[in-house]
Amino acid sequence: MTSVVGLISLVGVVSLWVKEKFLRKMQMALVAFSAGALLSGALFHLLAESLEELSATMAFGYLLVGFVLFFIVERFLHWHHCHNGRCETHPFTYLILFGDGIHNLIDGLIIAASFFVSVPFGIVTSLIIIGHEIPQELGDFGALVYGGFSKFKALFYNFISQIICVVGGVIGYFLAGSIEGVIPFILPFAAGGFIYISASDLIPELHKEPDLKKSLNSFLFFIIGIVFMFVTKIVLGG
């Protein structure tokens, strides 16, 4: 099942047959959707799950550590990839891949652990994860293209990031007894990274649009991203 989840990253392949002009029009909408989905996913999925096992103080502490670490990583990437204030590829693209990789590793661990409980429970857990991964992967793909990646490069790196879920599944299979207690600590860390990417990188990009109509359109997609991830939490229970 982890391999199926890994293949979800290929939902962006449909863009290869989409006209460049139409894709450019949709980029900001996908960036807005991604910003909302990352923010909502961090709060309603990752943080909420960690609070079931950790105290609020500890969970928010790890969230803050994740937030600060992503800030440090972005500063390094900005220094390394940007010169004279110009960046061919925006540093937030690498942060998205890094944060998504951590998230996908956790998903793989969770899927593996759930199958040790029972096969039906493992299948349900996998379907829940697939349900919230599809919209997030679409948003991430759009954000990567907007950040400077070509469509093929965005698709390839998104696939590499998503396939880490398989790695998590393999690790979970062999270390099922010892990883269960670690996951609650990793979840708020990843949540902090997602919140940083949304608030520090993607939302400021939305503010650069001077046209009121386009700004309202982006805001609508931002809200849709938030609501979609919230609904998957309520409906799927993941």
Quote the mean pLDDT of the chain.
75
Helix pair 20-40, 119-146: axis angle to 10 deg: 130
The predicted model gives 98-113 an average pLDDT of: 74
62-88 mean pLDDT:
70
Output the pLDDT for position 102: 77
pLDDT of residue 144: 79
Q: What is the residue whose two structure tokens read 């999925």?
A: 45
Number of CB atoms found within 10 A of residue 37's CB = 32
User: Are 45 and 236 contacting, i.e. CB atoms less than 8 angstroms apart?
Assistant: no
At residue 25, the pLDDT reads 67
Residue 5 pLDDT exceeds 70: no
- pLDDT classification of 91: cutoffs 50, 70, 90: low
- Using a 10 angstrom Cβ sphere, with 0-12 exposed, 13-18 middle and 19 or more buried, the burial of residue 172 is buried
Instruction: Encode pLDDT of 114-143 as tens digits.
Output: 566 556 656 755 765 665 566 666 667 777
